[in-house]
Amino acid sequence: MFVTKRKLERFAQNSTFRHVFQPYYHELVSGFKLKGKWKSDFFGNENPVVLELGCGKGEFTVGLGQKYPEKNYIGIDVKGARMWRGANTANEENLKNVAFIRCKVEQLELLFSPGEVDEIWITFPNPQIKNTATKKRLTSPQFLKRYRKVAKNDTIIHLKTDNTGFFDYTLEVISEENLPLLYSSHDIYHSPDHEDVTSIQTHYEKLFAAQGETIKYLKFVLHKNS
């Protein structure tokens, strides 16, 4: 794989940021230093921990952090050079309630203790819409099982997507697992009381909205014992 000079510079800069974590696999399996200690040892407060999964450039994580200083936000993505964008803004603005982890969503259990996560956002995930790939979808039963291992009981999960197939698939999973659906809109920009969800736009949200795609949003409760 060809890696550009700019990507290498971003990887290097990420490693200097105290709020960016790029753990090696051996660090994860031997017991990640902040597992169970994000609030006490990193954020230095008892505020809720909110994850954005597949955060891309991280502008949503940063935007939420700016808007809600009473919560802690952690953006997660495998792509370090993308994540650099949000990490750099958080650094320039000295945001103490924002962090990023370069890892796979599949590794959450190695990064967080049971009950350590208070809320989850999934923003414009790769839809993985081929039937054979359902287990790779970030709202599949397999991923919900992973979230249950780190989330407090009755954690709220939010999804924003442009993809109708992915959105409808998620509604089916929620129904099949008997999870309470708190809100659902196939066109959040034309729904009442949507300001809180659309005031911060992700990179992909801007792209899709500009192409005329409707933006879908739902939130549901992740019961532990359903």
Angle at 48 between CA 95 and CA 142, to 5 degrees: 110
Q: Which stretch binds ligand SAM (CB under 6 A): 30-38, 119-127, 185-193, 211-219?
A: 119-127
Q: Which stretch binds ligand SAM (CB under 6 A): 90-98, 124-132, 176-184, 217-225?
A: 124-132
Minimal distance, residue 146 CB to ligand SAM, in Å: 10
**Out of 72, 89, 91, 123, the residue judged to bind ligand SAM by CB under 6 A:** 123
**Out of 126, 142, 199, 226, the residue judged to bind ligand SAM by CB under 6 A:** 126
Q: Which stretch binds ligand SAM (CB under 6 A): 22-30, 35-43, 84-92, 122-130?
A: 122-130
DSSP the chain: ----HHHHHHHHHHTT-TTEE---HHHHHTT-TTTTTIIIIII-S-PPEEEEET-TT-HHHHHHHHH-TTSEEEEEES-HHHHHHHHHHHHHTT-TTEEEEES-GGGHHHHS-TT-EEEEEEES-----SGGGGGGSTTSHHHHHHHHTTEEEEEEEEEEES-HHHHHHHHHHHHHTTPPEEEEES-GGGSTT-HHHHSS--HHHHHHHHTTPPPEEEEEEE-S--
**Out of 42, 77, 89, 222, the residue judged to bind ligand SAM by CB under 6 A:** 77
**Out of 32, 43, 112, 124, the residue judged to bind ligand SAM by CB under 6 A:** 124
**Out of 34, 49, 55, 64, the residue judged to bind ligand SAM by CB under 6 A:** 55
Q: Which stretch binds ligand SAM (CB under 6 A): 30-38, 77-85, 163-171, 181-189?
A: 77-85
Distance CA 52, CA 74 (A): 6
116: tokens are: 């350590």
79: contact with ligand SAM by CB under 6 A = yes
CB-nearer residue toward ligand SAM: 149 or 223 = 149
CB-nearer residue toward ligand SAM: 42 or 143 = 143
Residues that bind ligand SAM (CB under 6 A): 54-56, 76-79, 82, 104-106, 123-126, 202-205
